[in-house]
Amino acid sequence: MNKKYFLLLPLCFAPLYANAAEGKGTYYMGYLHEDMNQSGVFELGVRVPYSQFTEFNVAAMWFAHDQNLYEGINAGFNLTTGTPVLKAYVGTGLFGGQNKMCDKSYNNVSNSYDYQNCDADLTVGIYPEVGVELSLFGLKVATYARYYKTANRGKNEYSMYGAYIGLNF
């Protein structure tokens, strides 16, 4: 079975947990960016309230930085203000996945970079997170920031900010 399908498995089970929660969950798509190294994180996930003031999230993530590519999942826990329309939150999370480190060379013919000789390792990390979410008519829009700390060698700290859009289910 393809590893990427296995990584998306937690997203399939999240709606089951949402039925037991007070509120409804949210499918979301987000992007985080770091200016200093021009790296970014793209994630597809589910946010599920556990109570009025707490929620969990689980997401498949893809993170690119120069010659590194991370593919994996992250899971987090947030404390929220519990307000229905405009909600602030603070939390923490863990991520795990595969880190591919590749040799990068410029290809003059295609005018792009080629990645060759990739070495893959498993990696884990943690992050604190803060954000503000606006919720109207079943649609959620949020801005958030995270500080990633990874267990791999080389550059292993990333201050990132971004946004996500979500749809209630």
Quick check: is 20 in a domain? no
Element (H, E) at 17: helix 3-20
Bridge partners of 51, per DSSP, are 54
Quick check: is 19 in a domain? no
Tell me what pLDDT residue 33 has.
94
By the 8 A CB rule, do 51 and 81 touch? Answer: no
Please tell me the total count of domains within the chain.
1
- Domain range holding 63? 3-9+28-168
Distance, C-alpha 129 to centroid of its chain? 11
CA distance 31 to 162: 6
Quick check: is 105 in a domain? yes
Bridge partners of 127, per DSSP, are 93
What is the reported pTM? 0.78
Quick check: is 23 in a domain? no
Quick check: is 14 in a domain? no
Tell me what pLDDT residue 15 has.
56
Tell me what pLDDT residue 17 has.
54
Residues of the chain short of pLDDT 50, as ranges, are: 1, 16, 18-22
By the 8 A CB rule, do 158 and 34 touch? Answer: yes
Quick check: is 18 in a domain? no
- Residue 61, both tokens: 């993530």
CATH at residue 104: 2.40.160.20
